A and B are shown apart, each in its own frame.
Chain A
């Protein structure tokens, strides 16, 4: 078990309860898709796992250093002047030796197909490339678990394909992936399990085939009659 969450609850200062006694566990190498309508607690859950939000109650068994979080808004995550420098940002904060930083940044750029953009300004990248850059910035920290918050949001078709390909590559490499999305038709066939959140609680959790029927009642669109194995944009 790489991650275990017990009875996790989070409440915003204004009293809104974003998470209600959430309990689940994740196996190493698993791809868990987390879905739910807006305000169901998906983003809050990831931020609690990363330690950015302090939960009101509950326990999280996880080494937070080994948990990488890719935010939904790529722009707010990019701080470097060039692609290479942005990826190195996290490692520089850890004050690692320059040689190691260079090596790891190169490796991350290779994995995310960013080598050709190494000296490019992040702001001049396309949406898909920016998203890949934010993934590289997290991957370079060598996390065991990579959590992605709405990685397909605001991306065009090629952008979604680029990002999806890389997510699956990371899974192949042995990373555990937590993927928050409400666009199930793009990725569900690759998921090991699907978690549906509703009003801060887990409404369903299990293999996609077993849970899909409950998606509409949780406010999540799922193509009617489409087999789960066809729910991937990579297969088109």
Chain B
């Protein structure tokens, strides 16, 4: 079975992969909020920055384009809707903003492992409550780890039903109900098995990941994000 790579961590040795997960998470938040708040012209700066990062990190763009058709369709719908209701420049701005935010998200997921994301979350929340931080980061890690399992189960069940001549179009409602129940059944069974396996590996529902110390390059990345914000603000005016 072909394995999807979209929104999966990809092991690589690039500046972006080496950057601390806290810096990446913080930068994503700041950039995503700024792209909405700053004037339309600033989108160009953010898009250019995202493309440069994609180039540096060797993002498998072709595979992502193949797998991410849903984003292309959403972008096109957004563009068409906006063009009809407003103007062409406005439609270009909104669509560009959408694709840039998606690209930032892809860059984060592509270059940050689940464990690193959990550690970044733990670091952020631990200022409020260490206990909650441990629980939240463990939940994030398990959720992200379980997502591929869910997709695999759905694909397997769909293919098995197809192989037995199941045609969804014939009875769509019946298909939807029986398919959903079957997926739920399989997932509950797998979740039960997974929880026992986790228990046998001393998992207690909380985690306390090591927070690595920041390097000079991480401060450099933060400065880079700040620089992009300033440039975007200037260009936007």
Contacts of B29 in A (CB 8 A): none
Q: Given A81-B115, A95-B208, are A124 and B201 neighbors across the interface (CB < 8 Å)?
A: no
In the bound complex, do residue A76 and residue B190 qualify as a contact, i.e. CB atoms below 8 Å apart? yes
Of residues 64 through 119 on chain B, the ones whose CB sits less than 8 Å from some CB of chain A are 113-115
What residues on B are CB-neighbors of A71 within 8 Å?
Answer: 193, 196-197, 200
Say which one of A15-23, A82-90, A158-166, A175-183 lies at the interface with B: A82-90
Q: Contact between A92 and B193 (Cβ–Cβ < 8 Å)? A: no
Q: Does B199 contact A (CB under 8 A)?
A: yes
CB of A216 closer than 8 Å to a CB of B? no
Which candidate, B35-43, B51-59, B142-150, B221-229, is the interface stretch facing chain A?
B142-150
Task: Please give the number of chain A residues whose Cβ is less than 8 angstroms from any Cβ of chain B in the complex.
Answer: 30
Q: For B115, what are the chain A residues with a Cβ–Cβ distance below 8 Å?
A: 80-81, 85
Verify A81–B9 contact, CB threshold 8 A.
Answer: yes
Residue A130 lies at the interface, judged by CB distance under 8 Å to chain B:
no
Q: What residues of A have a CB within 8 angstroms of the CB of B194 in the complex? A: 76-77, 79
Distance between Cα atoms of A68 and B115 in the complex (Å): 23
A69 interfacial contact with B, CB 8 Å: yes
B202 at the interface (CB under 8 A from A): yes
**What is the size, in residues, of chain B's interface with A at 8 Å between Cβ atoms?**
29
A residues 48-104 near B (Cβ < 8 Å) are 50, 52, 68-69, 71, 73, 75-77, 79-82, 85, 89-90, 92-95, 98
Nearest residue in A to B9 (C-beta to C-beta)? A81
- Whether A79 pairs with B11 at a CB distance below 8 angstroms is no
Contacts of B113 in A (CB 8 A): 81-82, 85
Find out whether the CB atom of A93 lies under 8 angstroms from the CB atom of B203. yes
- Beyond A82-B113, A120-B11, A124-B3, whether A92 also contacts B209 by CB under 8 A is yes
Shortest 4 CB-CB distances between A and B: which pairs?
A: A90-B201, A93-B202, A77-B197, A76-B193
- Interface set of A (CB-CB < 8 Å, partner B): 47, 50, 52, 68-69, 71, 73, 75-77, 79-82, 85, 89-90, 92-95, 98, 119-121, 123-124, 137-138, 141
Q: B residues near A, CB below 8 A?
A: 3, 8-9, 11, 113-115, 141-142, 145, 148-149, 152, 190, 193-194, 196-204, 207-210
Report 24 cross-chain contacts, Cβ distance below 8 Å, ordered by A residue. Answer: A52-B196, A68-B200, A71-B196, A71-B200, A73-B190, A73-B193, A76-B149, A76-B193, A76-B194, A76-B197, A77-B197, A79-B142, A79-B194, A81-B9, A85-B115, A89-B203, A90-B203, A93-B203, A93-B207, A95-B208, A120-B11, A121-B11, A138-B200, A141-B202
